[in-house]
Amino acid sequence: MSSVVKAVVFQFLSGIKDSILGVVLIYSLDKNIQNHQRKQQQKAQEENKLNIRRTSSSVENGGKRKNPRVLGRICMSSALASFVWISIWIFSVYVLPMLHYYTKVGGNVKQNFLMNKFKK
């Protein structure tokens, strides 16, 4: 029994470790992509004076677009996954025992009613 518990705890901890490493990896990839895009924009601005005038006027007018951050999406995904797991836990801990109790209490009456109805 203790080996089963150890295995479950080990798998749980390795899952947490993997999810943390995944979040760090995605965050670092997002940061690298943003740095690469920033460098490309700087090169384009240096090559063409006209683009500098256009981007500076659009920045002054607030026309700069902001790309959605991956970290925010990761947090939203984690919150959704947590909600799903919590709802599964609530269902298995509270709803199923309640259904089991109420079907056990009134089970004989309902079962007899259904059996008599379908015997005809």
pLDDT digits (tens, 9 = 90+) for 59-100: 555 545 555 677 778 778 888 888 888 999 899 888 888 887
Phi first, then psi: give them for residue 100, nearest 5 degrees: -60, -45
pLDDT score at 114: 56
What pLDDT shows up at residue 5?
A: 86
Compute the Cα dihedral for 108, 109, 113, 114 and give only its sign.
negative
- Residue boundaries of the structural domains of the chain: 1-67, 70-120
pLDDT single digits (tens) 1-60? 688 888 888 888 888 888 888 888 888 888 888 889 888 888 777 777 665 555 565 555
Using alpha carbons only, give the angle 115, 92, 3 rounded to the nearest 5 degrees. 120
Contact 51, 44 (CB under 8 A): yes
This prediction's pTM: 0.43
